[in-house]
Amino acid sequence: MNLKNLKIDLPANWREISRFGNENQSSIKIYHISPLSKVDPDIREDKILPSSNPNVTIVRVGVPVPTPPLKDFYEGMKGAISCGLLSADWAKKIDELHKDLIKLHYPDDGDFGTDITIVKFQDEGIARQQFKNMALMPTQGFDVPMPMGKDTQIPGAPKDLTMYQYLKDFDKYTSKEFLEKYVPKEQLEKMGPEIFEKIKKSKPEIKKIQSELKNIQEKEIPKIKKQFESSGVQYKEGKYLGCGAIYLEYPNPASAPKPKVSSRRTSGIGSGGFDTRFDPLPKISQPYQKTLIIYQALLIKNFVITGSLLSIVNSSSSGITPCYSLTKFKKKTSTFREGGEVFKDISIVPIVSNYAKEGYLYKEEAEEILKKIVTKLSKK
């Protein structure tokens, strides 16, 4: 399978931004299109509509949204400049920041950018060890087994050789005397004499790497290990989507909810308190979890999947999460009498909907992308 040309079947609200790599590795950037990019930008603000009757007031009520688009930040900054709250010098800075973030993350019509990286290893043994090392390296550094397959053993090296040991003793394992002792003569002849010249030229760079590696392994890794132990964060190996999975498990920073005291007061919309024009959003069951997990890697045969798309699966809201519709509304009418006349207030309000129906980013859709990738790699 040529990973450079691997086609990823994305849902309708997702787009590929870019990709780079080769036949054995591909890193793909994708983004989610915000549903707010497809509707009137003013839909979130109350708007008085024309009325043929002076006693009738018609208001299209602004739609509360889960997360305003990032584009609003730039529009707000520009508004601050035009009002004199920020100097004119900021205009160029804001434009440059805007361009940089579009380049690094996602276009203006998006609300979330992420990436997925797929690596194909020589065989399943190498892939499995590289995969397992992802759970070991955060606390063990490079003192983890060398990823070696049945046909890629280092001649003369012990079977339990670690990456740290190999790099520390690089001079030994690449010396002419060592190679001539353990590598068949025919194989050395195929390498040619230039192989030793290349090794010799790489010595200064290797020395630098060895020095940095020693500092990391002997000074930094013990500190990191201590931090992990005190915080309760652990890297674990398990299953997800039928594949091997490396995940980060950590204590839920939020306390368990206390039993609610009954009250007649209804919860509000956003920070503005209860608005009787809206139908209240239904509550969905969200059992408290003592520990939370973030997926880090998946193993499928000789393929390893990593990338931030894995990490958002458990941190995203479900598709059934209630919200208000961006396209469907209903009328609510209230009548009152004043000075012998009858007046009417007509509110055009959004009906209750959910994330999946409105096209917001949600867990099951992100998970579906991963499922399709896993299915494709499993068949190869």
pLDDT per position as a tens digit, 169-190: 888 888 878 878 887 788 777 7
Per-residue pLDDT tens over the stretch 238-286: 999 999 999 999 988 888 777 665 444 433 344 344 577 899 999 888 7
Amino acid letter, 319: G
60-116 tens-digit pLDDT: 999 999 876 555 555 666 666 666 666 677 677 767 776 766 676 778 888 889 999
Q: Is the pLDDT of residue 325 over 70?
A: yes
Q: What's residue 268's pLDDT? A: 38
With b for 16 or more beta-carbon neighbours within 10 A and e for fewer, the 212-246 pattern comes to ebeeebeeebeeeeeebeeeeebbeeeebbebbbb
CA-CA distance, 256 to 358, in Å (whole number)? 30
Domain parsing of the chain, residue ranges: 1-67+110-121+297-380, 70-107, 138-231
> In the sheet where 25-33 sits, what is the strand order?
14-22, 25-33, 110-120, 303-306, 291-300, 243-251, 234-240
Provide the whole-model pTM. 0.81
Q: Is the dihedral of CA 336, 341, 342, 347 positive or negative?
A: negative
